[in-house]
Chain A
Amino acid sequence: MSTSSLSRRHFLMGTALAGSAAFLGLPRMARAEALDKLTVGFIYVGPKDDYGYNQAHAEGAAALKSIPGVTVVEEENVPETIDVQKTMESMINFDGATLLFPTSFGYFDPHILEMAAKYPDVRFEHAGGMWQADKHPTNVGSYFGYIGMGQYLNGVVAGHMTKTKKIGFVAAKPIPQVLLNVNSFLLGARSVDPTITCQVIFTGEWSLAVKEAEATNALCDAGCDVITCHVDSPKVVIETAAGRGAYVCGYHANQSSLAPDKYLTGAEWNWSKVYTDMITATMAGEPIPNFVRGGLAEGFIKMSPLGPAVTPEAKADFEAKQAEILKGGFAVIKGPLKDNKGNVIAAEGEAFVETDVKLESMDYLVEGVLGSTS
């Protein structure tokens, strides 16, 4: 894995995987022996070829299959009920899995926490969770990426490409991860033109094809001409928006093949790198830190290649801002900033950099986003 000077600054992040386990006062784990065999279990909440969230994780898992000694077992469409607890136990009991990746947010509390208490020798790595040293077992870890940065860059391109000065966002539920993406998308666009507004429509479900299509149409009717989304499977939104003549920005995975002419860029997960690093570390007997985060610089997320419609000015601005983000310490949420109800989010000079954990409990939409959080 890369241990460039870039990533080393982010003490919480990727570099820690390579072995620098002493940080933030977390309990230093005993160095385990190197392993020659490892069974890893992946659990997905939806189908693993959904062009979205689950596919991104499944592609990460697929990258592990070529590592010698590693066996990957997978299960898809596992609901966030007792089902997932039993699936974890079944992978432990029948397949001998000692490292599990239950990838949906809702698996964390109570399901992973209960299984972690019952199986202290198994390690549970959870995407998106907020592992806290004082509350959670040490055999649980949580990892996530600063994908909001990707939505910010989506927004930068969108800001250049929009003619109506109105961009749209199809969102599943008003939860922190989604709100950060909506806000970042708008603030990216506003970095180009501060008069741009972003209309958000919540569908209320993670995967509901017809409602996503209707929401996309409503956005187009409202005059939005660049559209992105945060739902589990963006395929419907991308195809519908492009069909209505709007530009689209992708999410979760690369959807450019669905709308080659209209696809501007997209914020993609790069789990194959993250998982490969984690498994390589585990095989070498290195511990995985309990709280892992990373962004563009650490290779946790990546941007889809810019589409043919992107203008040279947009491209130049995108590349400049991407370079800025790659330097680290970038703040999308910075003062002066109000939410769309008029409350001050950040005073002049105040900034929440991408690594700030406060961003992970976001409960507001910033000024310029049309929509409400409940």
Chain B
Amino acid sequence: MDNDIGLWAIPIAILGGAIRVSTPFLFVSLGEVLTERSGRINLGLEGTLVFGAMSGYAVACLTGSAWAGVAVAALAGAVFGLVHGLICSLPKVNDIAIGIAMMLLGMGLAFYFGKPFIQPVAPDLPSIPFGGWSGLPQLEAALNVNVLFLIGAALSVFFWWMLRSTRIGLILRVVGDSTDAARAMGLRPAIIRTLATGAGGAMAGVGGAYLSLYYPGSWNEGISSGQGLMAVALVIFARWNPIACFFAALLFGGAGALGPALQSVGVSSGYYLFYAAPYVLTLGVMIAISSPSRAMTGAPGELSLTK
């Protein structure tokens, strides 16, 4: 049995890593696209993600159903999002600062209530093997695709279509671009933004459930290493386009797999620098696509972050 695939290990690992690691980034950034398109930023999604990971794992443990865990994580995420949205609807409140405070609260509550669930083992989410044809165990493993990833991919197309061609999308965009224009159209921006923030929170909660229920697939206090924060960065990187979010998440996940993969083929010195690859890559692309003279294309006009 010869499984040595030499340097092919790197592209396969990047492909596999992209699929495995990207899902939380994808869900959080898709949710944040909805929120930011409505003109509000939620920097607290890291806390929502962690709370989603904890609540999803806990419920999956207690009920024996991973999908019940996902549902509860979405619900918990929505609550966090709605609270953030409601607070930010008040005048003079700084949404970035509230985001950071909500991040702290979410993580605190998740760690507080998560203590009894570090030890038990919860059921995993199912995955679909797409690589059976190859006969190559590495490729089979890489193409073992989780259902949530597929849902995320479908949602990114759906959101893209929704923002472009539906009434809901139009409302979101108008509210995000100009509060005054929205009011003139008889819309109530505060309510719409709050709902969009709630939806974004629900998506972030699901992203957290993926972490604890599939990959890496357990609950502990170090389960998220900043995925929620980075996903917010990816939204700007993707210019508020859901389909671009999908590719940005894949790119970021794949770049994250580079470090371990390089070590496994013998490129082993300076691994910290390889581990920084996703951040360097994202920063490089941001520098390349930004421009000093005009606002970022695609940026919602009411967004505090880009004003």
> Which A residues form the contact surface with B (CB < 8 A)?
46-47, 49-51, 77, 163-164, 199-204, 207-215, 217-223, 233, 235-236, 239-240, 243-244, 257-258, 370-372, 374
- Cα A233 to Cα B118 in complex, Å, equals 11
A372 B268 Cβ-Cβ under 8 A: yes
Given A210-B225, A221-B138, A372-B268: A239 in contact with B17 (beta carbons within 8 A): no
The answer to whether A217 and B222 have CB atoms under 8 Å apart is no
Interface 0/1 of B241-278, CB less than 8 Å to A? 00000000000000011011101111011111001000
Question: Is B21 in the interface zone, CB < 8 Å from A?
Answer: yes
Q: Please name all residues of chain B whose beta carbon is closer than 8 Å to the beta carbon of A210 when the two chains form the complex.
A: 21, 211, 215-216, 225, 227, 256
In the complex, which residue of chain A has the Cβ closest to the Cβ of B53?
A209
Choice from A202, A207, A220 contacting B222 with Cβ under 8 Å: A207
Contact assessment for B141 and A217 in the assembled complex, using a CB-CB cutoff below 8 Å: yes
Residue among B216, B268, B271 making CB contact with A209, cutoff 8 Å: B216
Report how far A153 CA is from B215 CA in the complex, Å.
30
Instruction: Contacts A164-B3, A204-B272 known; list 13 others, CB within 8 Å.
Output: A47-B118, A51-B119, A209-B220, A209-B222, A211-B225, A213-B20, A214-B17, A217-B141, A220-B137, A233-B222, A240-B216, A243-B217, A257-B121
Q: Given A47-B221, A201-B263, verify A214-B271 contact (CB < 8 Å).
A: no
At the interface, yes or no: B16 with Cβ under 8 Å from chain A? Answer: yes
Contact of A212 among B115, B137, B216 (CB under 8 A): B216
Q: Please tell me which one of the listed residues B1, B141, B268 contacts residue A163 in the complex, with CB atoms under 8 A apart.
A: B1
Supposing A50-B220, A164-B1, A210-B216 touch, asked if A204 and B225 sit within 8 A by C-beta, the answer is no
Chain A neighbourhood of B119, CB < 8 A:
49, 51
- Known A50-B118, A221-B12; judge A374-B269 contact (CB<8 A): yes
Given contacts A49-B115, A211-B225, contact A222 B216 (CB under 8 A): no
Residue of B nearest to A372 (CB): B268
CA gap between A202 and B215 in the complex, in Å: 19
Q: Which residues of A contact B227 (CB under 8 A)?
A: 210
B-side interface residues, number (CB < 8 Å): 45
Which of A46, A199, A212, A257 makes the CB contact (< 8 A) with B264?
A: A199
In the complex the two chains form, is A222's CB within 8 Å of B264's CB?
yes
Cα of A186 to Cα of B93 in the assembled complex, Å: 59
Q: Which chain B positions have C-beta within 8 A of A201? A: 260, 263-264
**Residues of chain B contacted by A49 (CB below 8 angstroms):** 115, 118-119
Known A214-B260, A372-B269, A374-B269; judge A222-B9 contact (CB<8 A).
yes
Which of B115, B215, B272 is in CB contact (< 8 Å) with A213? B215
**Structural contact, A236 and B256, CB atoms closer than 8 A:** no
Chain B 109-136, CB-CB to A under 8 Å as 1, else 0, gives 0000001001101000000000000000
Instruction: Determine which of A215, A236, A258 lies in contact with B260 in the assembled complex, contact meaning CB atoms within 8 Å.
Output: A215
Kindly identify which residue among B9, B21, B137 contacts A214, using a CB–CB cutoff of 8 Å: B21
| Min distance, Cβ B297 to any Cβ of chain A, angstroms | 32
Cα of A361 to Cα of B263 in the assembled complex, Å: 24
Complex Cα gap A241–B4 (Å): 18
Q: What is the bound-complex CA distance between A244 and B127, given in angstroms?
A: 13
Closest to A213 in B: B216
Closest CB-CB distance, B105 to chain A, in whole Å? 18
Shortest distance from the beta carbon of B303 to any chain A beta carbon, whole Å:
29
- Nearest to B116 among chain A residues (CB) is A49
Interchain CB contact under 8 A, A217 and B260: yes
The answer to whether A47 touches B220, judged by C-beta atoms less than 8 angstroms apart, is yes
Contact of A233 among B142, B220, B270 (CB under 8 A): B220
B8-33 vs A: 1/0 string, CB under 8 Å?
Answer: 01001100110011000000000000
Q: Across the interface, which residues of A come within 8 angstroms of B270, CB to CB?
A: 374
Q: Is the CB of B222 within 8 A of A222?
A: no
Q: A220 touching B141 by the CB < 8 A rule?
A: yes
- Whether a CB of chain A sits under 8 angstroms from the CB of B194 is no
Measured CA separation A208–B141 after assembly (Å): 22
Whether A371 pairs with B268 at a CB distance below 8 angstroms is yes
A-B contacts, 13 listed (Cβ < 8 Å): A47-B118, A50-B118, A214-B259, A220-B138, A220-B141, A221-B141, A222-B4, A233-B222, A235-B218, A235-B220, A239-B217, A243-B217, A257-B121
Chain B residues lying within 8 Å of A221, measured Cβ to Cβ, are 5, 9, 12-13, 16, 138, 141-142, 261, 264
Q: What residues of A have a CB within 8 angstroms of the CB of B21 in the complex?
A: 210, 214
- The complex places the Cα of A218 from the Cα of B12 at a distance, in Å, of 10
Q: A218-B260, A221-B16 are in contact. Are A236 and B268 (CB under 8 A)?
A: no
Q: Among the listed A222, A236, A244, which residue makes an inter-chain contact with B218, where contact means beta carbons less than 8 Å apart?
A: A236
B223 interface residue per 8 A CB criterion: yes
Residues in A whose Cβ lies below 8 Å from that of B16: 217, 221
A60 to B128, CA, bound (A): 43
Query: For B5, what are the chain A residues with a Cβ–Cβ distance below 8 Å?
Result: 221
Complex Cα spacing A135 to B272, Å: 33
- Give the residues in chain B near A258, CB-CB below 8 Å: 121
Chain B residues, CB < 8 A from A51: 118-119
CB of B185, distance to nearest CB on chain A (Å): 44
Q: Mark B179-206, 1 if CB is under 8 A from A, else 0.
A: 0000000000000000000000000000
0/1 interface trace, chain B 261-301, chain A, CB 8 Å (1 if under)? 10111101111100100000000000000000000000000
Contacts of A236 in B (CB 8 A): 216-218
Within 8 Å CB of B17, what residues of A?
214, 217
Whether B220 pairs with A223 at a CB distance below 8 angstroms is no
Q: Are A371 and B256 in contact (CB under 8 A)?
A: no
**Residues from chain B with Cβ under 8 Å of A215 in the complex:** 260, 263
Assembled-state Cα–Cα distance A371/B223 (Å): 26
Contacts of B216 in A (CB 8 A): 209-210, 212-213, 236, 239-240
Do A202 and B271 have beta carbons less than 8 Å apart?
yes
Q: Which residue of B lies closest to A233 (CB)?
A: B220
CA distance A209 to B137 in the complex (A): 23
Which residue of chain B has its CB nearest to the CB of A209?
Answer: B216
Q: How far is the CA of A304 from the CA of B16 in the complex (A)?
A: 33
Give chain B residues whose Cβ lies under 8 Å from the Cβ of A374: 269-270
* Set of chain B residues within 8 Å of A257, measured between Cβ atoms: 121
- Nearest-neighbour CB distance to chain B for A239, whole angstroms, equals 6
Distance (Å) between the CB of B119 and the closest chain A CB? 6
